[in-house]
Amino acid sequence: MPSHKFISLRDSLKGAVGDFLDDERMACIKTQDGLVEIINALSYYREEGHALFPEIFVIDNLEAVFKVLPTSEYIHINDGPKDVSTMIKALKQCAPLAQGGWVIYVLRKRDSFEYGVFRSGTTILSVSIEDILINNGDPAVPVIMVHQIADKIIEMKGFLKSCLSVNFGVDKEGKGSPVEILEGFVSIIISSVPAEVKELAQTFYRRLLSRILKEGHGTLAAVISNKKRKLPKEVRDGVILNPPINVVQRIEDLIKNKNPQANIRLNACIALIPGMMRSDGITIFATDGSVRAYNVFINHPTRAREQRRIGGARSRTFEALCGMLGNELMGAFVQSQDGRLEYKGVTR
């Protein structure tokens, strides 16, 4: 009789989470067990049929956290025993609340977990909680963040710069991590944005594209030079926006006026542009951060049709877009429902 070997993915994940906590100097078997359950739950988290993408922060000192977060507030939801069930309850009770800038916190106490939600900042352009507590974290303020960064990909990051990514899907064609791909494509979209507002435009598009990656809906996008007043003829078969959506102008209005109306106008873009990117076809950006068109379709060259008979429609269209780079396009991006996530661009 052949021998059988059984592999427990849960045990592998538990070991990886334990090592992560050790590296972050936040070792705790109760936290370890709870994080394993949360990571598994976040891979496909839904409430009442709706997909949710909460960010969870595990902290040890609530007061210390809020000392480093500007214009912050929190709402305490509940407390419970220091075990897995409380962390799962925290996710279930708080996930529907963790939207519009609100995130979940789990406070580790001696014999219990406290949990609730908190927020920081005043506008969509405010520095993110992740940047303050994790990417630029204070060694005296231990924090762990868990969130979904792309379809079926969960990331755990710590204040000491440890990072653990768990992929529950299949990614045979991906070129780099989702975060690297996002940053690369954003850099193309904002490459001609004035220096004084480039960082804010980067913040805007990071948040917008992060939403797209998490949803995993499938999307295609391309970038043209901002010097082109008209769309190249190859990408005119779609809904051309006249005038284009000038995101940077709305950012500048918010900086100058700092009023609710300017903030509402910028927030409207966060609602509108993802809808365009969920539509069939290609969304066209320009290097000045503007949106020029959506629902765009292109003709595939005969050679590309002959060489790419195998593969999804989005992948074939992405290859066709890449063939235009350097001539008509500055960048191309694809996220397909079969797991492909990639961008290509040209440097100036």
pLDDT of residue 1: 55
Query: Comparing 128-132, 310-314, 316-320, 325-329, which segment has the lowest mean pLDDT?
Result: 310-314
Q: Indicate the Cα dihedral angle 7, 9, 11, 16, nearest 10°.
A: 130
Alpha helices by DSSP H, the chain? 9-23, 29-42, 62-68, 84-94, 129-130, 178-189, 195-215, 247-257, 260-278, 302-307, 313-322
Strands 282-286 and 219-224, by their bridges, are: parallel
Mean pLDDT of 185-195: 96
More confident residue, 336 or 148: 148
Report the pLDDT averaged over residues 51-72. 93
pLDDT at 302: 53
Provide the residue count of the chain: 348
Range name among 229-243, 297-311, 322-336 with the lowest pLDDT average = 297-311
Strand-strand pairing, 56-59 and 103-108: parallel
For the chain, the structural domain boundaries read 9-167, 178-345
216 band by pLDDT with thresholds 50, 70 and 90: confident
Give the whole-angstrom CA distance, residue 267 versus residue 207.
11
- Which pLDDT value is given to residue 309? 47
CA–CA distance, 113 with 268 (Å, rounded to integer): 37
Task: Determine the pLDDT at residue 310.
Answer: 45
- How far, in Å, CA of 108 to CA of 207, rounded? 29
Reference 108, options 164, 64, 149, 165; nearest CA is: 64
Question: Per-residue pLDDT for 108 more than 80?
Answer: yes
Please tell me the predicted confidence (pLDDT) of residue 348: 59
- 63 vs 123, residue with greater confidence: 63
| Across 65-79, 285-299, 308-322, least confident range | 308-322
Q: What are phi and psi of 295, to 5 degrees?
A: 60, 35
CATH architecture of 9-167: 3-Layer(aba) Sandwich (3.40)
What is the CATH topology of the domain spanning 178-345?
A: YojJ-like (1 (3.40.1700)
Q: What percent of the chain has pLDDT over 70?
A: 92
pLDDT for 3: 60
**Residue 170 has what pLDDT?**
57
pLDDT tens-digit map of 263-275 = 889 989 988 999 9
Q: What is the mean pLDDT of the chain?
A: 89
- The mean per-residue pLDDT over the stretch 95-100 comes to 92
Cα separation, 269 vs 247, whole angstroms: 7
Which residues are CB-neighbours of 79 under 8 A, at least 6 positions away?
A: 86, 112, 113, 114, 115
Is pLDDT at 246 greater than 80 in this prediction?
A: yes
State yes or no: pLDDT of 173 exceeds 80: no
Question: Mean pLDDT throughout 73-101?
Answer: 95
**In this structure, are residues 205 and 331 in contact, taking their beta carbons and an 8 Å threshold?**
no
As a whole number, mean pLDDT of residues 159-186 equals 82
With bands split at pLDDT 50, 70 and 90, how would you rate the model's confidence at 165? very high
More confident residue, 5 or 83: 83
Q: Are 9-167 and 178-345 equal in CATH topology?
A: yes
Task: Read off φ and ψ for residue 198, nearest 5 degrees.
Answer: -60, -40
